[in-house]
Structure 1
Amino acid sequence: MSNVKNYAEQGGEKTVIGGELEIAVGGKLTFAGNELKPAGTQADSTASTIEGLVTDFNALLAKLKAAGLMAVE
């Protein structure tokens, strides 16, 4: 067993990150060919109606999709 925190298992099928993974300026993280980005900020909901809550929730879903964190239908 190795004492390093970050390593690729034999054969390269799995990489383990036990330390920090830093994406440098200009670098990117992709999943299935799609770039992942931080999602936009979503304010806490102050909705007092179901309709208002649906609007807030749909805004959150749109931000997750735009960031590549949720599949787009």
Structure 2
Amino acid sequence: MHNQNRSKERQVTPLSNISLAEGREVAMTYETKEMLDCLRAVAVAEIERKRRLGHYVVVWQNKRPVLIGEDAPLDP
């Protein structure tokens, strides 16, 4: 009986196409999109926090990591 309830709880969510920052589109479920949106929001908040504290951040630009900020090392 317990296993039957679990299978009823897990319903298939339809896929939708999501555009990524790289310009690619991928199909993902609503739940996966919610997780991605949450991770993006956390990353934005952390980058803003580091900016306010005067710390540098490492971001991905032009297929390589880039250090941004006043205190960023000159030679990584």
Q: Same fold (TM over 0.5)?
A: no
TM-score by length of 1: 0.31
Name which one, 1 or 2, has greater alpha-carbon Rg: 2
TM-score by length of 2: 0.29
Greater RCO structure (CA 8 Å; 6+ sep): 1
Higher percent of residues as strand: 2
